[in-house]
Structure 1
């Protein structure tokens, strides 16, 4: 929970935020909401602040209730993949080379089983669980009563024993051995295999996923091949070591398999130990959908953190006005798709009827995920006042909107990792307009030479909107000139000198506010170069009295 509430207890009562449009949402560090609590569906808070950054009210931010995930690509719920939350920061987990990762597979959502057919996995799992229980006195014992060379086929169990680590981890050592006092049961004929997260395996038996399957069963024939989705790390038909301790260059792996190769006698494994080293390469943090209780105008986003050379941080946002960003469809007997409830979609998806259902973004109520934010642009500048919000970068997801979701993907190398310490959002509790619609022409150019563009915005204003008297247009490069600024057909260029900055234009005019100014067109004619074909000119509106609170226009 956000600690900000403690800072204003001396006020006695909350001050209404109607007089103050500015609000901030903080997560991470010593004063912000807790990263781990938010992703688990916990409640958060945002603070209403004045122009000096003083807190004048604290208000709840809730999480949209999370339903069980049938379709893992839907992304409408919180998710954590190998994130270290120490000190209320986000960083990839660092693997201790002394830690046996087999002992924590269930904590990570992993599993152990064999390549037996799905219908028999429940009982088979019980026979292999002892090798990851940390007890060297228990074992998986496989009797061999008849030599396969004499029988011409393996009578004994020759299935793959597969450990699903629960996530892709940097692995470099695999070790297994029999119980003390049963050294004669060591495995003399074996194959060690492995696969990364791209392998076509489901995580659990019976699970249905498009393009995924259970482990391939191993034939009892002599010299049978392994599942082709596994990479063979080591193969030994003449092993004399009671303790097999295989070291190899560190690889990102999710699955590790051990199988006997035409075993001539009874064998066992007491413990299968798996070790790694370094930072987890790919980690992910996705908040559940946050509910701010009312539509707000998103302005800026910033963070504290570090991104060492060779690492990467991909941060994206999306916003909407309904709790669910998706629409769901199921096929009828006629072959046409009709809209259905999520529970119907989940039921069909879980049953593997992937061709009978589909989904799409509810484009009327939700934005798509934003492009990744530039890390350097959003960094907190410690040389300037935090309250001034002259640092940070515009939040690229549209408002006014009530719901927001944030996704952060951290990519490390094994020796160093990026991190996000704190993240903050600046927004206005009141919007400048219900909507501001933008158009630009020409929409296509045939060269990168300077062109004359006309950028028009049309506001939809209501009585409770604050209005705006500034329009900011991102031009990517420095514009050559602003030819004219017209409001409702009247040229105001002489009264409000346009400001041409290195990558944007800012134009001013009399305040547009109230229903009488609704749909008054603001038209800007300017000359600018095009960096690439298909370049879009993003825009924002705001009041000169509160220049940090900007509302993005909709193209």
Structure 2
């Protein structure tokens, strides 16, 4: 492992995620979290940079919300069921307001609700109400600034007036803060231009108890509304208790500076989630330190500007120093940065870093969501690798044809346009992902001339061809790889990577879909189907025609092959054997499968391991597809 003194010095100087000193032809592995783990085991020389979950700086666009952060993991905060949350609401950025003649106000008298003193009280007499409300309602609005598993509310009067000032009639409602539901909830409260709606949890008309202990349903809560007619009642303490994990929490890393444009490699992570919990992990990459544009009102009509009055571009720091009326909003910088990726498959634990080309800056975020109080997700670490300098500044590719018949062997041309700049590594290897093993790899052309090539790797998921070296002298020359393959699903993507075989431990740089050849009309690496088959089973083959499981080494095993098409994901697949009377004799196979070609075998025995007598049998393939069950049947001829 190469020493990383320079990087450690950079960390000490900036105190965060800014790393700018990279070695030539260096593989660098970054890890966020997992500080108690040893360095990763990676073949070859590499540099390791350890980052901490806690090293988050708002000035570098990082943020942590409602998370417990440790050196080894992050997970949503867990509420202590014995802790009254009401005094903490404002500390957490929430609010407590009551309605009066001016609207909803954070009046000083509300402090009596949470001062821990049963001799002081908030009164429901409504002296601050206007005279035009009939009948008047007194409302108290608790905004929690987040989703929480609130389970209990305790309401107390003073002991002195316990039997005179109890709340006879009241209503308590909650909502989850989802603006899409606004106006659809059962309870609604209009006051001085403000509209609140809520799910009614308690509606009480004849209460005689001065001390109430109310249990709430197990669902996330963002707001609580207490409402009662103006009258001679009081609340000495309004206590709110939660039990469980915060229903929403989030982590956003600082913008991570890789030091220079880098080939983006693999992203891996370790974590877990309880049933009912979700972790949405995503990333984005860019070319500068800030993925946002900041806007200022110029006060010339509706005009906005991205520049300060001094003429300098607005940065986060300059934007925060503007007066409130000057701030015109923040928008994504789509010129230098890519959008956040859709949530990655958290349970899978790995993915590729996403970038249209080599990038210098990365940022990650993880949103923790829970539908149940005692369910949570957690992350131990997030790890990724990059190579510097990049293989190429950009590699565009498209595939022709981009629409085919399902399950037919088709001649494809993979067109690659490399763009290399000074110090780019160049490449001599092309890796192309395929839905099943290709039928053949036929030719390679560079600049229209056929080239010698070798097949370095080939399996059911991809192949690699070794080609004459592409470097700065051949930048802009069209590279074409011809191969034959079958497609079974709409939108099959033939993703690809390029790399240098002399640097086997460096990152294989991802190819970007785009216009590689003006004469082609694809501009994509996705292949569609000309006609979409309705049945999931396209074909079923059995061999040999006569099956003789007699132990002589000839035709002793029945080979079963089948094609599944246009399935959105893995579905249950069952293969059973029946006699001609319809009696099931054995289960040959039971598994899950997606679109593609699959195989199974049968050795002529029933479920107990006994050889079946000779005769004709029916082999039944059943696929429990997205919308229906698809069945294909074939005849098995068993002889001795």
| Superposition TM-score, scaled by structure 1 size | 0.74
Q: Say if 1:62 and 1:428 are closer, same or farther in 2 by CA, change over 3 A.
A: farther
What is aligned with 2:85?
101
Does 2:522 correspond to 1:517? no
Give 1:231's match in structure 2, choosing from 184, 188, 199: 199
After alignment, is 245-254 or 95-104 more displaced? 95-104
Look up the match of 1:536. Answer: 493
Task: Select the residue among 130, 143, 147 that pairs with 2:112.
Answer: 130
Q: Judging changes above 3 Å, is the alpha-carbon distance between structure 1 residues 278 and 8 closer, same or farther for their aligned structure 2 residues?
A: closer
**CA distance in structure 1 between the partners assigned to 2:405 and 2:324 by the alignment:** 49
C-alpha distance in 2, partners of 1:548/1:136?
A: 68
Counterpart position of 2:429:
470
Tell whether the 8 Å contact from 1:176 to 1:244 is kept in structure 2 after alignment.
yes
Which of residues 71, 75, 80 is equivalent to 1:91? Answer: 75
The aligned counterpart of 1:287 is: 253
**How far apart, in 2, do the equivalents of 1:478 and 1:127 lie?**
74
Which residue of structure 1 lines up, in the alignment, with residue 241 of structure 2?
275
CA distance in 2, matches of 1:63, 1:77: 12
Gaps of 5+ in 1: 10-15, 34-46, 68-75, 203-214, 220-225, 379-391
- 8 A contact 1:482–1:498 mirrored in 2: no
Structure 2 match to 1:323: 289
- Larger Rg over CA atoms: 2
Pick from 253, 260, 276: which aligns with 2:221?
253
Secondary structure in 2 matching 1:497 = strand
- Aligned mate of 1:180, from 124, 140, 159: 159
Residues 327 and 55 of structure 1, relative CA distance in 2, 3 Å threshold: closer
Q: Give the CA deviation at 1:368.
A: 2.0
Partner of 1:72: none
* Structure-2 separation of matches of 1:522 and 1:145: 82
User: Shift in Å at residue 542 of structure 1?
Assistant: 1.4
Q: Which has the higher contact order (CA 8 A, sep 6+)?
A: 1
Q: Which runs of 5+ in 2 are unaligned?
A: 10-20, 183-187, 308-313, 514-640
Is the aligned partner of 1:406 residue 2:406? no
Cα deviation digits, residues 158-191 of structure 1 (max 9, x gap)? 3320111121111222111123323232222211
- Counterpart-to-counterpart distance in 1, 2:89 and 2:300: 46
Distance 1:476 1:273, change over 3 A: farther
Matching residue of 1:26: 31
**What SS does the corresponding residue of 2:344 show, helix, strand or coil?**
coil
Which of residues 255, 263, 280 is equivalent to 1:314? 280
- Write the distance in 2 (CA, Å) between the matches of 1:461 and 1:62: 38
Moved more, 404-413 or 306-315: 306-315
**Structure with greater strand share of residues:** 2
Q: Which residue of 2 aligns with 1:81?
A: 65
Distance (whole Å) between structure 2 residues aligned to residue 463 and residue 237 of structure 1: 80
The answer to whether the 8 Å contact 2:56/2:63 transfers is no
SS of 1:103 mapped into structure 2: helix
In the alignment, is the contact (CA less than 8 A) between 1:101 and 1:273 conserved in 2?
yes
Query: What's the counterpart of residue 141 of structure 2?
Result: 162
Give the Cα separation in 2 of the matches to 1:109 and 1:26: 31
**Distance (Å, rounded) in 2 between the aligned partners of 1:536 and 1:349:** 49
Deviates more, 1:357-366 or 1:239-248: 357-366
Matches of 1:168 and 1:482, distance apart in 2: 55
Give the whole-Å Cα distance in 2 for the aligned partners of 1:145 and 1:62.
Answer: 49
1:550 match: 508
Query: Cα gap change, 1:54/1:439 in structure 2, threshold over 3 Å: closer, same or farther?
Result: closer
- Residue 402 of structure 2 aligns to a residue whose secondary structure is coil
CA distance in structure 1 between the aligned counterparts of 2:251 and 2:260, rounded to whole angstroms: 25
- Specify whether residues 29 and 358 from structure 1 end up closer, same or farther in structure 2 by C-alpha distance, changes over 3 A only: closer
CA contact (8 A) 2:428 2:466 kept: yes
Q: How does the TM-score come out when normalised to structure 2?
A: 0.65
Q: How does 1:50-449 map to 2 (within 5 A)?
A: 51-52=43-44, 55=47, 66=58, 77-116=61-100, 121=104, 124-143=106-125, 154=134, 158-183=137-162, 184-199=164-179, 217-218=190-191, 229-263=197-231, 265=232, 267-327=233-293, 340-341=306-307, 361-378=332-349, 392-412=350-370, 413-445=372-404, 447=406, 449=408
Aligned residue runs from structure 1 range 11-50, under 5 A:
17-30=22-35
Tell me, yes or no, if the aligned pair for 1:22 and 1:50 is still in contact at 8 Å: no
- 1:201 shift after superposition: 11
Contact 2:273–2:279 at 8 Å: present in 1 too? yes
Deviations 1:4-57 (A, max 9, x none): 879999xxxxxx853551111111122589xxxxxxxxxxxxx99985466588
CA deviations 1:431-485 (Å, max 9, x no partner) are 1111112222223446464433222221111231111122222234443332322
In structure 1, the partner of 2:584 is none
Shift in Å, 1:296: 1.9
SS of residue in 1 equivalent to 2:35: coil
Tell me the secondary structure at the aligned position of residue 113 of structure 2. Answer: helix
Cα pair distance change 1:50/1:504, threshold 3 Å: closer
Q: 2: distance between equivalents of 1:30 and 1:500?
A: 38
More helix by share: 1
Q: In 2 relative to 1, CA 307–481 (structure 1 residues): closer, same or farther, beyond 3 Å?
A: farther
CA-to-partner distance for each residue in 1:215-262, whole Å, 9 max, x for gaps?
Answer: 95448xxxxxx9551111111121101011111321211101111125
User: What do you get for the CA RMSD once the two structures are aligned?
Assistant: 4.4
